[in-house]
Amino acid sequence: MNCIQNPILPGFNPDPSICRVGDDYYIATSTFEWFPGVQIHHSKDLKHWKLIARPLSRISQLDMRGNPDSCGVWAPCLSYSNGLFYLVYSNVRSFDGVWKDTPNYLVTSNDISGEWSEPIYMSSRGFDGSLFHDDDGKKWYLNMLVDHRNGRFFGGIEMQEYSSEKRQLIGPVHYLTPGTKLGLTEGPHLYKKDGFYYIVLAEGGTEYGHAMSIGRSKSIFGPYEFHPDNPFVSAAEDKDNYLQKCGHGDLIQTQNGDWYAVFLIGRPLTLHGKCTLGRETAIETFIWKDGWPYLKSGSRVPRREVPTANLPEFTHGAQEHRLFFNNETVPLDFQALRIPITENWCSLSDRKGFLRLYGKESLNSLHYQSLLARRVQHFNVRVSTAIEFFPENIHHMAGLVFYYNSGHYHYACITANFDGTKKYLSIISSDNFEMSFQEELVDITNFDKIVLRGEMNRNRLQFFYSLDDISFNDLGIALDASILSDDHVRNGRSRYRPAFTGSFVGVCCQDLAMNAHHADFEWFEYVEIK
């Protein structure tokens, strides 16, 4: 049987919002502190997907300088009405303590891959904003309500009308539902079918109890009754299922009348273990019975393989493993931390054929890092880069980094001794902000170009180096790659910090003295090890 393989968007692609325009399907996913904000993938057959855009590309749309780890862009909602795409998103500014600073915005565009508008402020009452276009022409904005009183936090789902003419929310706020007994209710999406309004919710938390619930009402204002066999999607009852943490999803009907749900999942290394690839996007097909949706499989647990939609197959061209930095733009796979990718720190023109990174702040910084990275999307990968770097003191570093957040990473770098008379390869690791160093591993003082490589095999990471890109030698000892996961970060914290992203790998440069010394990278290679 020709099947769709789950996940359809592997590696850190959570909180999917799906939209169909004619024969084209688009999924928007969260990007948190990574810039540009929001990933949009395109498909025509629901099986083959390609990253085509990141719409929040200007700091006027998304200012994340100083945002804590795993804050920034949460749960975007992508929709389409009368020739215009609408994108609602949160820019979470703080999350420690009882108060949560969660401003929400709306941008629009008539071209999904083109320029998007300046943001319209919606509200800061909660997060996971969503826009519903009713058939009477009205538009309704939904969000989960943050209730800071006495440890409540999840305050239910509310709704307010949005005026396109006034470019703001208008009228009273309507409280729709506190959710089901699963609790931790968030991620609302609203639909209308056969005279009912249906509300889909993310519930049970975003870990192993995660679920997708659904309710309905004859009135958009409620009251909402819930599915007699909620949750609609969840793997909480099946610890052995390949796809875990299933929830926070969206529904779509194909042009042929079939129905599918997309939702986030995690793939643990061990039974209810750590998910180094982060939260990913999966898909399932469902049917309607007695006015309620049920997965077509007869279970609420999603499958690794799902029957394809009755749509013409549409594939995308294969991507080159080795990317040479000889173009005018940074490859779309790459993102930066919190700030736009600009020539003042990331230049493709200052030395033709090379990516030049001007060293900025440390890997612990929440403001200005000179780091360019892509998602780790496979359990077994080999990643390499060719670097030319001439450090002058201990404050100059550049190299290859496997990164989760500002307190969790493994970094193979070129650096110098105190006065710059010697150049070395070293490894710096951080686990819950506790630093460990494998210093002065290899003296490379007399070499200009170095190739650094990292092989990540599930929970094991080994760095290598080469002086000729042919013969490789071990660099340091094997490292624990499982620290690059939500699960590890949550379990190791001394106080609450959100942890919602996934493993990245990329290149970076630091000048902790003057924020100016540069490194040149000739190419970057990412290969799945099969």
Number of helices (H) and strands (E) in the chain: give both, helices first.
1, 39
- 116 part of a folded domain: yes
| Rounded mean pLDDT, 209-218 | 98
19/398 Cα distance (integer angstroms): 41
Q: What is the pLDDT at residue 221?
A: 98
Omega of the bond prior to 68 within 30 degrees of 0, cis?
A: no
Q: Is the pLDDT of residue 309 over 70?
A: yes
Same domain, yes or no, for 221 and 337?
no
Token output for 306: 């799902």
Domain end call among 182, 199, 232:
232
Question: Percent of the chain scored above 70 by pLDDT?
Answer: 99
Domain end call among 232, 266, 299:
232
Same domain, yes or no, for 206 and 328?
no
Q: How far is CA 175 from the centre of its chain?
A: 29
Q: What is the pLDDT at residue 494?
A: 45
Same domain, yes or no, for 146 and 30?
yes
3-state secondary structure of 266: strand
- Whole-structure pTM over 0.75, yes or no? yes
- Give per-residue pLDDT as tens, 277-296: 999 999 999 999 999 999 99
Q: Are β-strands 186-193 and 168-177 bridged in parallel, bridged antiparallel, or unpaired?
A: unpaired
Q: What is the pLDDT at residue 359?
A: 98
- Give per-residue pLDDT as tens, 452-470: 999 999 999 999 999 999 9
Q: What is the pLDDT at residue 1?
A: 56
DSSP string, 487-529: HHHHHH-SS--------EEEEEEEETTTS--EEEEEEEEEEE-
- 283 part of a folded domain: no
- 81 part of a folded domain: yes
Same domain, yes or no, for 228 and 327?
no
More confident residue, 189 or 318: 189
- 314 part of a folded domain: no
Task: Please say whether the beta carbons of 307 and 1 come within 8 A.
Answer: yes
Q: What is the pLDDT at residue 95?
A: 87
| Rounded mean pLDDT, 250-268 | 98
Domain of 442, in residue numbers: 322-528
Same domain, yes or no, for 396 and 521?
yes
Q: What is the pLDDT at residue 457?
A: 98
- pLDDT band at residue 329 under the 50/70/90 scheme: very high
CATH number reported for the structural domain that contains residue 116 in this entry: 2.115.10.20
Q: State the average pLDDT for the chain.
A: 96
| Rounded mean pLDDT, 264-272 | 97
Same domain, yes or no, for 355 and 480?
yes
- 386 part of a folded domain: yes
- Give per-residue pLDDT as tens, 488-525: 998 875 444 689 999 999 999 999 999 999 999 999 99
Same domain, yes or no, for 226 and 326?
no
- 401 part of a folded domain: yes
Same domain, yes or no, for 221 and 352?
no
- Give per-residue pLDDT as tens, 334-362: 999 999 999 999 999 999 999 999 999 99
Same domain, yes or no, for 27 and 125?
yes
Task: Please say whether the beta carbons of 504 and 373 come within 8 A.
Answer: yes
Same domain, yes or no, for 193 and 331?
no
- 276 part of a folded domain: no
CATH number reported for the structural domain that contains residue 510 in this entry: 2.60.120.200
Token output for 25: 């399907």
| Rounded mean pLDDT, 221-238 | 97
- pLDDT band at residue 317 under the 50/70/90 scheme: confident
Domain end call among 186, 202, 232:
232
| Rounded mean pLDDT, 217-246 | 97
- 312 part of a folded domain: no
Task: Please say whether the beta carbons of 383 and 505 come within 8 A.
Answer: yes
Q: What is the pLDDT at residue 152?
A: 86
- So which residues are the catalytic ones? 15, 186
Into how many domains does the chain fold? 2
Same domain, yes or no, for 55 and 155?
yes
Q: Is the pLDDT of residue 384 over 90?
A: yes
Residue 122: which of 142, 138, 137 has the closest Cα? Answer: 142
Same domain, yes or no, for 332 and 192?
no
Q: Is the pLDDT of residue 56 over 50?
A: yes
Task: Please say whether the beta carbons of 51 and 27 come within 8 A.
Answer: no
- pLDDT band at residue 68 under the 50/70/90 scheme: very high
- Give per-residue pLDDT as tens, 90-131: 999 998 888 899 999 999 999 999 999 999 999 999 999 999
- Give per-residue pLDDT as tens, 2-33: 899 999 999 999 999 999 999 999 999 999 99
